[in-house]
């Protein structure tokens, strides 16, 4: 094992408004045996300069610059170079409570757990409002099967990777990396939980998740809706390839109904934003077909790590063609 306890990976992209607060919350952690790997994903604002200034002050902060390729690729870049025995992830517009690393690491090592999860607050920066989001699961130690069932339902244990520390072997012994898609947390966390033997939950809120207008859920478009549905297919495909689907089929089906409701809502918002409902029912039907396929008995798995394709992708709202009327001369 490495002498370095934790690697924390933070992708950044045009977050100069929030980055200083995020980096200060890492800098003031009570736990010191960690490295922070900042992956600048082609920022065009002042984010790179801010990150460089913190790296000069902190010998355990490291900056990697790359062309813009999205958060999943940035996280994979961090994974390639990290050295810690446990690996965590942080979004660059969020911030940590001072004991985040210490309490998660102690919970993991004292219980010989492969994954440690903490609770979190939702933070609204414009109103400076912080809301506690309690687990519906009791804090404690969970087996893989029990924890993964809760994770699939996204109740009590959530898909986010940023409120967790995971043993590095879960990634490297199983060749795990983030799929190049939106909602990569949903497609990755179940794999980590499947390969884990023991998961420990902490009830204390140690992570502050920032809600802003440019976050994924506040800027849903056709690509993101399709990737959200596709993430369900990734989970199903993985469990099928591991010959483990029968242990989780009921939970997949229940979660699929939630995916439907969320997808229907964002399809409605997509068309309402364009003030154009041509193709709305077709998109609802497409979402239903893809979700039913990913959660039904006719699903045909593909070899991992290939991401299964949607059988009926959501399409952009049809453009309304305005016909200009011309007056005929009498």
The pLDDT of residue 2 is 74
Going by their DSSP bridges, the two strands 34-41 and 198-210 should be labelled as unpaired
pLDDT at 138: 86
Neighbours of 182 (CB within 10 A): 22
Residue range 277-288: average pLDDT?
Answer: 96
Which domains does the chain possess?
A: 6-216 (3.90.550.10), 220-295 (no CATH)
| Chain segment 82-108, per-residue pLDDT in tens | 999 999 999 999 999 999 999 999 999
Report the run of H or E that residue 181 belongs to, with start and end. Answer: none
The answer to whether the Cα torsion of 233, 234, 236, 241 is positive or negative is positive
Q: Is 156 exposed, middle or buried (0-12, 13-18, 19+ CB in 10 A)?
A: middle
Residue 251: pLDDT over 50: yes
The end-to-end CA distance of the chain, in Å, is 91
Q: Which residues contact 124 (CB under 8 A, 6 or more apart)?
A: 130, 131, 210, 211
Which tens digit of pLDDT belongs to each residue from 25-41?
999 999 999 999 999 99
Q: What is the mean pLDDT of residues 137-145?
A: 92
Sequence-ordered alpha helix ranges (H) in 161-275: 168-172, 184-195, 222-241, 249-274
Token code pair at residue 189: 């966390």
Residues whose CB is less than 8 angstroms from the CB of residue 110 and which lie 6 or more positions away in sequence, other chains included: none
Q: Give yes or no for residue 318 having a pLDDT over 80.
A: no
- Looking at residue 324, its pLDDT comes to 56
Question: Residue 1's pLDDT is what?
Answer: 66
pLDDT at 218: 62
Structure tokens at 88: 């965590």
Alpha-carbon span 290 to 92, nearest angstrom? 33
| DSSP for 76-100, written as a single string | HHHHHH---SEEEE--TT-EE-TTH
Q: Is residue 190 over pLDDT 70?
A: yes
Q: At what angle do helices 280-295 and 249-274 cross, to 10 degrees?
A: 170
Whether residue 329 is predicted with pLDDT greater than 70 in this model: the reply is no
pLDDT of 174 above 60? yes
Q: What is the pLDDT of residue 212?
A: 76
| pTM: predicted TM-score of the whole model, two decimal places | 0.92
């Amino acid at each position: 094992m490495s002498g370095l306890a934790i690697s924390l990976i933070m992708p950044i992209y045009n977050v100069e408004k929030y980055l200083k607060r995020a980096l200060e919350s890492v800098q003031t952690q009570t736990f010191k045996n960690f490295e922070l790997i900042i992956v600048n994903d082609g920022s065009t604002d002042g984010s790179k300069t801010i990150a460089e200034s913190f790296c000069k002050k902190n010998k355990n902060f490291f900056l990697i610059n790359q062309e813009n390729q999205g958060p999943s690729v940035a996280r994979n870049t961090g994974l390639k170079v990290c050295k810690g025995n446990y690996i965590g992830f942080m979004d660059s517009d969020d911030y940590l409570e001072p004991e985040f690393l210490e309490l998660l690491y102690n919970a993991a090592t004292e219980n010989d757990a492969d994954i440690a999860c903490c609770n979190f607050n939702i933070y609204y920066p414009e109103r400076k409002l912080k809301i506690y989001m309690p687990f519906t699961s009791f804090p404690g130690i969970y087996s893989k099967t029990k924890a993964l069932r809760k994770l699939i339902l996204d109740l009590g244990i959530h898909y986010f990777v940023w409120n967790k520390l995971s043993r590095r072997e879960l990634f490297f012994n199983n060749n795990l990396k983030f799929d190049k898609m939106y909602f990569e947390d949903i497609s990755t966390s179940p794999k980590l939980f499947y390969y884990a033997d023991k998961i420990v939950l902490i009830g204390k809120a140690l992570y502050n998740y920032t809600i802003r207008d440019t976050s994924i859920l506040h800027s849903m478009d056709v690509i993101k809706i399709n990737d959200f549905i596709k993430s369900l297919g990734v989970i199903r495909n993985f469990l099928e390839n591991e010959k483990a689907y029968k242990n989780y089929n009921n939970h997949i089906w229940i979660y699929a109904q939630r995916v439907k409701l969320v997808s229907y809502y964002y399809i409605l918002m997509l068309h309402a934003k364009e003030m154009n409902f041509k193709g709305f029912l077709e998109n609802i039907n497409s979402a239903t077909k893809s979700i039913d396929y990913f959660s039904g008995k006719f699903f045909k798995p593909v070899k991992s790590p290939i991401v299964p394709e949607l059988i009926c992708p959501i399409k952009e709202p049809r453009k309304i063609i305005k016909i200009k009327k011309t007056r005929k001369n009498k």
